[in-house]
Amino acid sequence: MSDINKEFAEVVKFHGHACPGLAYGFRATRLALRELGILRSGDEELVAVVENNSCAVDAIQALAGCTFGKGNLIFKDYGKQVYTFIKRASGEAVRVAVSWQPPGEGTEEQEAWRSFMAGDRSPAVMKLVQAAKKAKMGKILAADDRELFKVSRPEVALPTPARIYKSLTCRVCGEKVMEPKAEKGSTGPICMPCSANE
């Protein structure tokens, strides 16, 4: 097994299955790390800003070491296949946008996808969908970076480092909530869900 296949196998192990979205994230992350001359973020020295919540983001967590828990994975819900990686020390950034257009599928595959999207999980449909996913994933893993991505070097505002906040107890549900997310009431703090129901 080649080094790239071993590396992808580790990402698959983290994510739980192999799929085209994971392959995109794997390729985008490898490209960004190479461009920035960094191997992996042990702490917060690398920040990833992701513009979707797809399978690709798991590859970024696994390969780049950017996670919500460390505060160096920032989610912007734009629904775009775009990933920006920033070196915190220098502010150097690389933005990787998926630009690859997969080859068209045959009528049988297109019909299987329509059925799948409508909720059909019959063995015949699943066989065709899985075969299409596998073929697409193989093409993504084998393609040249220039075929897959549009890469730019933007000037970006450096996100603030992660902060630790005091935990308060919601006066309604009794659960812990971080201080900046709690509403301050005259009778004590209240979390957002409880505030919405009050």
Closest CA to 39 of 16, 7, 15: 7
Question: Same domain for 65 and 151?
Answer: yes
Answer yes or no: do 71 and 128 share one domain.
no
pLDDT above 90: percentage of residues in the chain: 71
pLDDT in tens, 41-69: 888 899 999 999 999 999 999 999 999 98
- Is residue 117 exposed (0-12), middle (13-18) or buried (19+ Cβ within 10 Å)? exposed
Highest mean pLDDT among 56-60, 69-73, 130-134: 56-60
- Report the pLDDT averaged over residues 136-158: 94
Helix (H) or strand (E) holding 58: helix 56-64
43 and 81 within one domain: yes
Regarding whether 128 and 55 lie in a shared domain, the answer is no
112 with 130, same domain: the answer is yes
Q: Give the pairing type, strands 73-75 and 82-87.
A: unpaired
Q: Measured between alpha carbons, how far is 21 from 125 in angstroms, rounded to an integer?
A: 20
For residue 84, what are the β-bridge partners? Answer: 49, 95
Per DSSP, the three-state class of 82 is strand
- The domain of 137 spans 103-142
pLDDT band at residue 196, thresholds of 50, 70 and 90?
Answer: confident
CATH number assigned to the domain comprising residue 178 = 3.30.60
> Do 188 and 155 sit in the same domain of this protein?
no
Contact 162/176 with Cβ under 8 angstroms? no
pLDDT of residue 31: 97
Q: What is the CATH number of the domain that holds 89?
A: 3.30.1330.20
Alpha-carbon torsion (77, 78, 80, 86), positive or negative: negative
The string of pLDDT tens digits covering residues 74-90 is 999 999 999 999 999 89
Number of H helices, E strands in the chain: 7, 9
Q: Are residues 74 and 60 in the same domain?
A: yes
Would you say residue 1 has pLDDT above 60? Answer: no
137 and 154 part of one domain: no
Residue-level pLDDT at 2: 65
Q: Using alpha carbons only, what angle is made at residue 111 by residues 116 and 120, rounded to the nearest 5 degrees?
A: 25
CA separation for the pair 64, 43 (Å, rounded): 10
Amino acid at 126: M
Q: What tokens appear for 50 in the block?
A: 């992701």
Q: Mark whether 149 and 60 lie in a shared domain.
A: yes
Number of domains in the chain: 3
Q: Are residues 187 and 130 in the same domain?
A: no
Are 130 and 188 in a shared domain?
no
| Whether 44 and 56 share a structural domain | yes
Alpha-carbon distance of 90 to 95, in angstroms, equals: 15
Instruction: Report d(CA 84, CA 96) in Å as an integer.
Output: 6
| pTM (2 d.p.) | 0.85
